[in-house]
Amino acid sequence: MSNTDFVLAIEDLTVSFDGFKAVDNLTMYIDRNELRVVIGPNGAGKTTVLDLICGKTKSTNGSIKFMNKELTKLSEHEIVREGVGRKFQTPSIYENLSVYQNLEVSYPKGRSVWGSLFFKRTAEVKEQVFKIAEEIMLTNFLDMEAALLSHGQKQWLEIGMLLMQDPQLLMLDEPVAGMSAKERDQTAELLNKISNNRSVLVIEHDMEFVKKIAHKVTVLHQGKILAEGPMDQVQEDEKVIEVYLGH
Ligand SMILES: Nc1ncnc2c1ncn2[C@@H]1O[C@H](COP(=O)(O)OP(=O)(O)OP(=O)(O)O)[C@@H](O)[C@H]1O
């Protein structure tokens, strides 16, 4: 396909594990600043789609273009460098470092235009740490050891660590699992803010949360798209009710 304005263009994507197609000829497009949620029953292929985008799993067939660049041939590290960030379900923060230090170590090395001018870089990193800490609601916790944060705060910190790299696409697998109702609301606000200037792709089972964040919803079933559109439209879809929402 020729160049497009989509941040992510997935076309005819298939991955087969010993003949079993976990993702089957999938085509989907994500716009700039779009917040897309992928829903669907267990085993539908949702996590596998994220694994394929971030290069953890290699496709059998098809194309994944991120800002018009083909990702399927790149390594996981190269894909991160292109600007794709992924958060897994379990937080992978440094428990014995402070919130500040966790954010600081996540700043990409060599990003600074000042190169070896150490003091300039330090100021630049610091500014970014404070900006992100405010975004993830942890300004008052910067000196706290990460181990002492609540479960929800740890999840936000990990989102913040990804934001330090300024990805153009952020992918999150069940970001509110295990969170309190208040933390879920705050996470919805956070993701809405984040998608003001980047695209976000979320897998989620919590439909109340999905309603609060999704611009559009893609329903996966047996590796294929069952339905796609705004949440209020998708939740009225008979096929979707039958295989997923009605359960
Ligand atoms: N590396 C692999 N090797 C073999 N089969 C796999 C592999 N990864 C995923 N699968 C299979 O592919 C199917 C899709 O799994 P996937 O984890 O993507 O589903 P999911 O929609 O994320 O489900 P859940 O909601 O339970 O997380 C499952 O049947 C799974 O067993």
Distance of CA 210 from the midpoint of ligand 1 (Å): 21
The reported pLDDT for the residue numbered 117 is 54
Q: Give, using CA atoms, the residue closest to atom 16 of ligand 1.
A: 45
On the 0-12 / 13-18 / 19+ scale of CB atoms within 10 A, 222 is middle
ipTM beyond cut 0.85? yes
Torsion of CA 29, 88, 224, 245, to 10 degrees: -110
Choice from 14, 48, 173, 244 to test ligand 1 binding pocket (greatest atom count within 8 A of CB):
48
Contact 161, 136 (CB under 8 A): no
Return the ligand 1 atom nearest residue 49 CA: 18
Q: Which residue has the higher pLDDT, 176 or 116?
A: 176
Convert the pLDDT of each residue in 19-69 to its tens digit.
999 999 999 999 999 999 999 999 999 999 999 999 999 999 999 999 999
| pTM of the model as a whole | 0.92
Q: CA angle, 96 as apex, 94 and 102 as ends, to 5°?
A: 40
**Which residues have CB under 6 Å of ligand 1?**
17, 22, 40, 42-48
CATH architecture of 1-83+201-247: 3-Layer(aba) Sandwich (3.40)
Taking Cα atoms as reference points, which of 148, 197, 199, 147 lies closest to residue 172?
199
Distance CA 157, CA 148 (A): 12
Convert the pLDDT of each residue in 161-170 to its tens digit.
999 999 999 9
Tokens of 239: 């096929």
Q: Give, using CA atoms, the residue closest to atom 9 of ligand 1.
A: 48
